[in-house]
Amino acid sequence: MTDGTPGMVGVTFAKGVLDDVAELTTPVADSDQTGRNEAEALKRRIAELLVECNSNPFIGELMGPGLHSELANCRRVRFDISTHKAKPRFRLIYRNEPTDGAPAECHWLTVAPRAGLQAHRRARQRS
């Protein structure tokens, strides 16, 4: 997803990431206006993350060894919409490839809720 501009890094998606985004940003059928507005704001925030990764593949915090050691070389971004004031509810987990030196690609593994380590489990399955 890069146009070849110097300094830009391609962003690719693991199988299932676009489904993750659709699941998060599709309001339920009986949503009120607030729910629809929140879904639109979340779409915009995810699009912003895409642009940010494209220009700086190091926006995320390196996960390192821990509970999910297979994700040690991955990065995570905690995010939410601007109107949400509590702890961010969502995670973007991605891997820069190659993992050493200047990355040629930012490979998204998941965009998912933080609750119950959903994002971590999905990323682990897709890594």
The pLDDT of residue 98 is 86
- The span from the CA of 15 to the CA of 19, in Å, is 8
CA 97 to chain CA mean position, Å: 16
* Residue 29 confidence (pLDDT) above 90: no
Tens digits of residue pLDDT in 96-117: 998 777 889 999 999 999 998 8
* Residue 127 confidence (pLDDT) above 90: no
> For residue 16, what are its two tokens?
């299932």
pLDDT (mean) for 36-59:
94
* Domains defined for the chain, CATH in brackets: 10-126 (3.30.2310.20)
Q: Which residues pair with 22 in a beta bridge?
A: none
- For the chain, the average pLDDT equals 89
* Residue 81 confidence (pLDDT) above 80: yes
SS3 of 9, please? coil
- The span from the CA of 74 to the CA of 63, in Å, is 6
The pLDDT of residue 6 is 54
